[in-house]
Amino acid sequence: MTYTPNTDRYSTMKYNRCGNSGLLLPAVSLGLWHNFGSVDDFNNARNILLNAFDRGITHFDLANNYGPLPGSAEENFGKILKQNLSFYRDELIISTKAGYLMWDGPYGEWGSRKYMIASLDQSLKRMGLDYVDIFYSHRPDPETPLEETMSALDHMVKQGKALYAGISNYSAEQTAKASKILNELGTPCLIHQPRYSMLDRWVEDGLLNTLEKEGIGCIAFSPLAQGLLSDKYLKNIPADSRAANPHGFLQKSAIKPELIAKLTKLNELASERGQSLAQMALAWVLNEQRVTSVLIGARNVEQLEDSLKCLQSPEFSHEELDLIDGIL
Ligand SMILES: NC(=O)c1ccc[n+]([C@@H]2O[C@H](COP(=O)([O-])OP(=O)(O)OC[C@H]3O[C@@H](n4cnc5c(N)ncnc54)[C@H](OP(=O)(O)O)[C@@H]3O)[C@@H](O)[C@H]2O)c1
């Protein structure tokens, strides 16, 4: 398939500085956790990705284990890059991570130097890349000294296999320690990737303050709480939704009547604001000034386009923000 990117692609996206770094990230980034694996429709995956690039999304987020099968999202991304985007490598910020189970034996997960370095080498091969822009420790490892995991990140940055280092799912306290170690090594932590949405606000309890103090950017994953923050579950569980998907991580049991009651009220408020609940939920996360980017997922181009309209969202009034807090 021949592809010529939209020449207007940088006119509508907003780009935010990532912490104290020189790097700008799009306010909306695209994650390849779901819908890009070997079980998914490759042409649909390609359409989502190319449409995202056409709309100014320059940042694509992966991890060693994304699929299913684990690794297949990186392989598919590598194919699309080679076939359609190879000319545009310098316009892309590509991230990957290591931390969760990827291969058998004692060296296939967590945060040892052995695992982290081997995993990035595998990811680069799968994607056909010389380097990634951001390499993350995907989760803190309670058994490995933090110094070891951080020095593995530093090593890969100094080797040129990653341009920046990041951490994900670290608590505020772990983040402060990791940041200190990375600063001492001369590779400041660029970014933290925590889960953050209207339905999961743990970052407000210390992490965002730490990130601000340390000059680290924040990219919020699952800002739609995996699709819960949309109107799709208000009446039933649609057959094509993540909750109904046997490969998905969202369990049907999460969809409880109390949750539906909250979502219904949020959906009414979104309608009054002239937007979809998904758009309001994304705009709400971006309303937090310390968030650099919302990291969305999309099952098709329609969802991507719907979500991108969060960038034209009306401002929230104090009353609306209080109302949302009250509902939640
Ligand atoms: N660091 C980590 O530990 C970690 C963990 C999880 C995710 N992530 C990253 O974050 C990315 C995003 O996570 P996520 O996929 O959970 O994000 P999300 O944006 O909260 O959920 C995406 C899902 O919501 C639904 N959706 C998306 N746009 C919609 C719209 N406009 N209207 C209605 N429904 C919509 C779709 O689900 P349906 O299929 O049901 O329609 C879609 O697959 C991942 O790809 C990954 O890169 C990182």
74 alpha carbon – ligand 1 mean position (Å): 17
Structure tokens belonging to residue 196: 């953050």
Whole-number pLDDT of residue 93: 99
Q: Which ranges of 32-140 does DSSP label H, i.e. alpha helix?
A: 42-54, 72-80, 113-127
Amino acid at 303: Q
Q: What is the pLDDT of residues 50-82, one digit of tens each?
A: 999 999 999 999 999 999 999 999 999 999 999
Per the prediction, the chain carries an average pLDDT of 97
Average pLDDT over residues 245-267: 91
Q: How far apart are CA 111 and CA 192, in angstroms?
A: 16
- Does the structure show a pLDDT above 80 at 142? yes
Looking at residue 246, its pLDDT comes to 76
Local structure of 20: helix, strand or coil: coil
For residues 137-154, average pLDDT? 98
* Residue 77 DSSP label: H
pLDDT (mean) for 241-256: 87
pLDDT band of residue 221 (cuts 50, 70, 90) is: very high
The continuous run of DSSP H or E covering 248 comes out as: none
Instruction: Give the Cα separation of 151 and 156 in Å (integer).
Output: 9
- Region 272-276: mean pLDDT is 97
In the block, which residue shows the tokens 């341009």? 163
Q: How far apart are CA 132 and CA 5, in angstroms?
A: 22
Cβ atoms of 229 and 197 within 8 Å: the answer is yes
Q: Domain residues of the chain, as ranges?
A: 15-233+278-316
Instruction: Kindly give the distance from the C-alpha atom of residue 40 to the centroid of ligand 1, in angstroms, as a whole number.
Output: 15
The residues that bridge with 26 in the sheet, in sequence order, are: 15
Q: How do strand 24-26 and strand 15-17 relate by DSSP bridges?
A: antiparallel
CATH, range 15-233+278-316? 3.20.20.100
Q: Is the pLDDT of residue 209 over 80?
A: yes
Ligand 1 site-directed mutation target among 221, 282, 286, most atoms within 8 Å of CB:
221
Q: Is 273 in the pocket of ligand 1 (CB under 6 A)?
A: no
pLDDT at 316 over 90: yes
d(CA 91, CA 88): 5
Q: What is the pLDDT of residues 169-193, one digit of tens each?
A: 999 999 999 999 999 999 999 999 9
Does the beta carbon of 190 lie inside 6 Å of ligand 1? no
Three-state DSSP class for residue 287: coil
201 vs 253, more confident:
201
Does the structure show a pLDDT above 90 at 245? no
pTM above 0.85, yes or no: yes
- Output the pLDDT for position 249: 83
Residue 9 CB neighbours (<10 A): 17
Query: Could you give the percent of the chain with pLDDT greater than 90?
Result: 96
The residues pairing with 16 across neighbouring beta strands, listed in sequence order, are 25
How far is residue 34's CA from residue 25's CA, in Å, rounded to a whole number? 21
Q: Residue with structure tokens 């694509």?
A: 60
Please tell me the predicted confidence (pLDDT) of residue 133.
99
pLDDT at site 247:
73
Please give the full DSSP string across 147-171, using - where no structure is assigned: HHHHHHHHHHHHHTSEEEEEEES--
Residues in the chain: 328
* Whether the predicted pLDDT of 1 surpasses 90: no
In this predicted model, what pLDDT tens digit does every residue of 8-20 receive, in sequence order? 999 999 999 999 9
Burial class (CB in 10 A: 0-12, 13-18, 19+), 34: buried
DSSP states of 96-119? EEE-S--SSSTTSSTT-HHHHHHH
Assess whether the C-beta atom of 49 lies below 6 angstroms from ligand 1.
Answer: no
